[in-house]
Amino acid sequence: MTSTTALVNGRVLLDEGFRDDVAVLLSAGRVQAVVEAGDARVRDAARVDLAGGSLLPGFIDAQVNGGGGVLLNNTPTVEGIRAIAAAHRRHGTTGLLPTLISDRADTMREAIGAVRDAIARGVPGVLGIHLEGPYLAAERKGTHDASVFRVPDAGELELVTSLSGGVTLVTLAPEQVPPDAIRALVARGAIVAAGHTAASHAQVRAGLEAGVRGFTHLYNAMSPLTAREPGVVGAALEDRDSWCGLIVDGVHVHPASLRVALAAKPRGKLFLVTDAMPMVGADRPSFELYGETITAVDGVVRNAAGALAGSALDMASAVRNCVRLLDLPLAEAARMASRYPAEFLGLAATRGRIAAGMDADLVLLDDALEVRATWIGGDMERYAA
């Protein structure tokens, strides 16, 4: 007989908003039901007291380069991925895409294989892979190594889409990749986003028509919106159907620009990402990328030339920043970290909401919006204050 756990005495974020008069029943890794607090099934279950905290759907991060002292490019192994996922779980992320920064084909093959094996072995939280490049524009390369940039041929399109059992997200510059290649990626099951791109508005529109579904870290590493050339930013804000990832750390994008995006895009089309580097969940403030030392100073990650190089952001901090910098209600900030990325990644049938039948991936925040517990597939980890 399968046991049931009842999560009680919390503020539970449901589709209609927060409720403090319900309990959440978990069984066999899923949400069995959301019931009134006095329901008989609650009395018969093993109860977990949430102590008045806010129970949210677990956070989903589509862009995680590293964590726990590990960078995927440097350690494309199951154990490296396990360390990254564990570091981010502590900050409320119950599902993520380990992200490979532009690299050679053999490293891409290793990373895809490691993610495949991690999923097969049940490493908690691994949903697939994000290949950020190498099909990018040198003019907007950021810290990526432009020497590995290229246009994918048929063999590489097959490699890129070779992951089975998980999501594949590919970030590319639509002006660098022919529309037929974008169509081929989409036809083979990949989700395609535009990023690190100097495209014109017309080139982005062509990419969207070919199957580009979203934009990687909106505003950063893309041609800006100007009076006579809307650029990538203008195309992203104008398009009603595409999604945009946002790095809300107070550094990558000014709060006013974030508010412009919130006003321009339909609700549900903006979601949070961290673009996190290895210092999340680690004591060491630096790491190596392409043989260069990258360092975090006062929480800002830069390369030797002073350019931004990912972030030291975690998802719980991104949610707090939405509340404190952007004055968003906690419920909407939480949706930007859970429901909306689940919809972007095609996972909304099982993740991103607290409702019967959904995966039991949850996060508990206290009054200070600090993470006090997470559940992945119903398995709970508690964290001390």
Q: Do the beta carbons of residue 298 and residue 367 sit within 8 Å?
A: no
| Tokens (6 digits) for 384 | 């001390």
- Residue 30's SS3 state is strand
- Cα 96 from Cα 349, distance rounded (Å): 16
Which listed residue (275, 314, 359, 361) is catalytic?
275
Q: Find, among 84, 110, 107, 108, the residue nearest to 97 by Cα.
A: 84
Assess contact for 31 and 356: CB atoms under 8 A.
yes
Q: Decide if 288 contacts 294 (C-beta within 8 A).
A: yes
**Alpha helix stretches (DSSP H) within the chain:** 40-44, 78-89, 105-120, 154-160, 179-187, 201-210, 231-238, 255-264, 315-326, 330-337, 339-344
Q: How crowded is the C-beta side of 192, counted as CA atoms within 13 Å?
A: 29
- Please say if 275 is a catalytic residue: yes
DSSP 133-160: -SS--GGG-TTS-GGG-----HHHHHHH
Residues recognised as catalytic: 275
